[in-house]
Structure 1
Amino acid sequence: MPRKQKSVLLCVLTVCITSLVVGVEEKQTDEECADLNNTTWQEYRRHRVKLQVQYLLLTRRNIDCAQVFNQESLTETQQQSSYFNISRPTKVIIHGYRALGSKPSWVKQLAQALLRAQDVNVVVVDWVYGASFAYNLVVENYKDVALQISVLINQLQEHGCKLESFHFIGVSLGAHVAGFVGTLFEGKIGRITGLDPAGPMFKGADTYDRLDPSDAQFVDAIHTDSDYFGISIPVGHVDFFLNGGKDQTGCARSRFASMYGYVICDHMRALHVYMSALNGSCPLVGIPCYSYEDFMKGRCVDCAIYKGTCPTVGLSENCGITVSPIPREQKLFLLTSSSPPFCSHHILLQLEVSPLDKSAEVEVKLMTDNLGTERRLRLQRDTTVYRTVLSHPVALCEIYSIQLKNTGARFYRQGDIHIKSVCLSEFPSLRREEPICVNNINIRRGAPWSHDFVQVCG
């Protein structure tokens, strides 16, 4: 047996034996805390490390100190030392591809966020040994990982756990692992959440081989890197495409300590947004729309398909959807900020102008204290009404000023621009606010125009 396997086995035995001696009421010491594995390229080449899967358990009773969890943990002799509670729901976290063979550093943070939000069992699936280095070979392993997980789920069923009480949270390739577990249980798993499900080798895959809505009673997904590491197609009942699902704010100028961290910034944003949503500091609401382009042009501003209740990112049942049956593969769009809590307000700007002799350009600024949102609109001769969506850090009622500027110079010969009306509205409308409008505005080139609003937040 390789030295690494021996050390892991020794740790497992030490934890079990010591727990039996001291009892469940005595706090575990740091030496007893289980952790995910690491592997190295040299070890991978030397031993061609075989697929090994271990499970770690975190609950509110051991939120800072994971236990090794396996089939033996369910035996009568081990149940007294295990913190697993059969009567509570279970969250199962599955990491994805580990290019460098390192353990995922975010797992404990996600588990603790889940436990702060709900009193549940959190089971972490550690398959680092089979998830590292060669991506094409890792993809060959993912169904075997799902099979091993299904064995554990079957054991838990025999001890009284119900399939609908399981919620799988899969990151990247881990989302497809969760999907195949759901396939094995014929879609009877309660819920699967995919955090930027992996795209390479899955974009053209059959639904049997990737995450899809039939894998659980409810499947939701967050997309943040659909043009590179993530998948670009809907894979759930609801699919949140943040900022269009591709380039995330703050990642283009990222200051990660490594190039690897920079490359995966968009991909991992789904995870960080999800963890932030668990804290419940502000709602992250998705708007159903055919495409991101239509969304940004203000063509989708409500959630009529869900009878007016817009889905939210997080743990609310079915993302807050109450209609039945739940529509499948519905694209939802929302804008986010570049840092936690990532929430942003959707402001619809509608500009109506008098007919132009030539093309022009208008710069629009919305001001709130020291914060501002800016958008440039290209005005064409044959168009008089323009709609666009802006991401703003605060609600509409907190915007105190709007500024307009005719920025047309050498390439835009239009002189004065007559704006019949400029209107601002927020969607989805939580306070049933009326749009804020200003009418009959003349803007001369080089002469900015501004108007102050009366703040009406209450």
Structure 2
Amino acid sequence: MPWEHKMIFLCVLTVYITSLVVGVDERQEDEECADLNNTTWLEYRQQRVKLQVQYLLLTRRNVDCAQTFNQESLTTAQQPSYFNISRPTKVIIHGYRALGSKPSWVKELALALLRVQDVNVLVVDWVYSASFAYNLVVENYKEVAVQISVIINQLQKHGCKLESFHFIGVSLGAHVAGFVGTLFEGKIGRITALDPAGPMFKGADSSDRLDPSDALFVDAIHTDTDYFGISIPVGHVDFFLNGGKDQTGCSRSRFASMYGYVICDHMRALHVYMSALNGSCPLMGIPCFSYEDFLKGRCVDCGVFRGTCPTIGLTENDGIAISPIPKEQKLFLLTTSSPPFCTHHILLELEVSPLDKSAEVAVTLRTENLGTEQRLSLQTATTVYRTMLAHPVALCEIDSIELKNTGARFYRQGDIHIKSVCLSDVPSLRREEPLCVNNIDVRRGAPWSHDFVQVCGLI
């Protein structure tokens, strides 16, 4: 489904849903704790909603009760602010709100950040200006950035350093953050873009979208490049998860509504980022020219970064230690369908004797009750095959490998002689030797298997 059709669907869905609740004001009225706003279709039709931006502050001192923040917050004595000038500041910027509803994920992201670092978390609430008509929202995003720059200027006057600000922009919010960075001539410390928006931005000039010059370090996670996300690199490093398009688990049948299916790929970047903040396992990207090259095992190390692979999260510059930092580096990695999303990259190399007919081999890696299968189509003109596998555990924890000659009886090769099959960790952090088995005959209907006897760290 092209992204234009998805946008039409969202608009129709918007009209349907809001027609059921038109006139109902759902805004939070809690006087003690601040909250993001909602807006309604009726307000939009009557053009009552003008450009409005408000800010919410969360810190470790008020994790359960957001505080309204504005230019006077640091000077008024009536309600002392929890903002601490001596600490870094994370600025969260949401994106387009098709239904005019407040983003439900904001507090979860803020809490994830606060668990890792003692920081100020400023949430930019521009729901009023980000809802319903996407093309009009895009027209507003630079003005939103200008308003954000005003409060950043005020914080500078009170002693905050530009390099202490880390903007985290989701979808269209990534380009808002980018324009804030442009206004400050790229001196902001960092911008993290979570599936930066693609429609109306892919062909835009770099001054009108996020690009590496907008901050001292810009990293991006791409998960929906064929629909709502942008397909080109926009940062110093760009992580393309599963190629950046279709994410594991985001199938139509998994969701109760079409809306859930539409946004699943797009929002995966946010969920992966929040999971990465927990630090339960590393999500490392491998630099490569294309996803196809990555899957074919043509990129297996991080030499461009002097051997250190960039990792999604809050590590300074994603762990990149070289200077200057390369720009627009495309990084690829495979993920699972649920948190913590991490998987191990195993390079499978298969060398076969020349074949008279085409063949198919199913390769299965097993660890206790876990298994990963990959089917390889073997051709008469090729004898060496390389492919990247996603396996739940590291190479040293794989118990066995199984090979099976599959395919139709009459036009596929009957017997296959495999000169060698080798497995390698990618990247090989400890420089382990690959696991190899040589001289294997695999006949149709008679699977071959081999058990590995090994202990992690003692290979």
**TM-score class, shorter:** over 0.9
Deviations 1:114-135 (A, max 9, x none): 0001000000000000000000
Residues 241-269 of structure 1: CA distance to partner in whole angstroms, max 9, x if unpaired?
00000000000156334321221000000
Report deviation, 1:400.
0.4
Kept in 1, the 8 Å contact 2:224–2:244? The answer is yes
What is the aligned partner in structure 2 of residue 211 from structure 1?
210
Deviation track 1:269-312 (CA, whole Å, cap 9, x = no partner) reads: 00000000000000000000000000000000000000000000
Partner of 1:51: 51
The equivalent of 2:10 in structure 1 is none
Q: Does 1:237 align with 2:236?
A: yes
Q: How does 1:150-169 map to 2 (within 5 A)?
A: 150-169=149-168
Percent identity over paired residues? 86
Partner residue in 2 for 1:40: 40
SS in 2 for 1:350: strand
Return 256-265 or 215-224, whichever deviates more: 256-265
Distance in 2 between residues matched to 1:384 and 1:48, nearest whole Å: 68
Q: Secondary structure of the residue that 1:189 maps to in structure 2? A: coil
Shift of 1:48: 4.1
For 1:456 and 1:361, locate their aligned partners in 2 and report how far apart those are by CA, in whole Å.
32
Looking at structure 2, the residues matched to 222 and 387 of structure 1 have their Cα atoms a distance apart, in angstroms, of 26
Preserved contact between residue 419 and residue 438 of structure 2 (Cα < 8 Å): yes
Cα distance in 2 for residues equivalent to 1:100 and 1:147: 25
Aligned CA RMSD, in angstroms, stands at 1.6
In structure 2, the partner of 1:15 is none
| 1:276 aligned partner, one-letter code | S
**Residue type matched to 2:138 in 1?**
V
Partner amino acid for 1:389? M
Partner residue in 2 for 1:372: 371
The aligned residue for residue 451 of structure 2 is 452
Partner of 2:197, secondary structure, is coil
Is 2:427 the counterpart of 1:417? no
Letter of the 1:378 counterpart: S
Task: Determine if contact 2:194/2:270 at 8 Å carries over to the other structure.
Answer: yes
1:308 corresponds to 2:307: yes
Letter in structure 1 aligned against 2:90 = K
Counting only pairs closer than 5 Å after superposition, residues 26-425 of structure 1 correspond to structure 2 as: 31-77=31-77, 81-253=80-252, 255-410=254-409, 412-425=411-424
Deviation at 1:408, TM superposition (A): 2.5
Alignment of 1:2-41 (within 5 A): 31-41=31-41
In the alignment, the residues of structure 1 paired with residue 337 and residue 219 of structure 2 have an alpha-carbon distance, to the nearest angstrom, of 22
For structure 1, list consecutive stretches of 5 or more residues without a partner in the other structure: 12-29
Mapped to 2, the partners of 1:31 and 1:187 lie a distance apart of 37
Q: Quick check: 1:295–1:389 contact (8 Å CA) kept in 2?
A: yes
DSSP 3-state at the match of 1:332: strand
* Structure 1 Cα separation of the partners of residues 193 and 126 of structure 2: 17
In structure 2, the CA distance between the partners of 1:305 and 1:411, relative to structure 1 (3 Å rule), is: farther
2:252 touches 2:258 (CA, 8 Å); kept in 1? no
State the shift of 1:64 in Å: 1.2
**How many residues are aligned here?**
434
| Deviation, structure 1 residue 201 | 0.2
Q: How far off its partner does 1:411 sit?
A: 6.0
TM-score where L is the length of structure 1: 0.92
Cα distance in 2 for partners of 1:268, 1:363 equals 33
The change in CA–CA distance for 1:82 and 1:427 in structure 2 (over 3 A counts) is: same
Q: Which amino acid aligns with 1:428?
A: P
Specify the code of the residue in structure 2 equivalent to 1:81.
P
For the residues of structure 2 that align with 1:249 and 1:413, how far apart are their CA atoms?
Answer: 31
Aligned mates of 2:410, 2:186 — CA distance in 1? 58
| TM-score normalised over the length of structure 2 | 0.92
Tell me, which stretches of 5 or more residues in structure 2 are unaligned? Answer: 1-22
Conservation of the 8 A alpha-carbon contact between 1:361 and 1:412:
no
Contact kept, 8 Å, 1:336 with 1:342, in 2: the verdict is yes
CA distance in 2, matches of 1:136, 1:47: 16
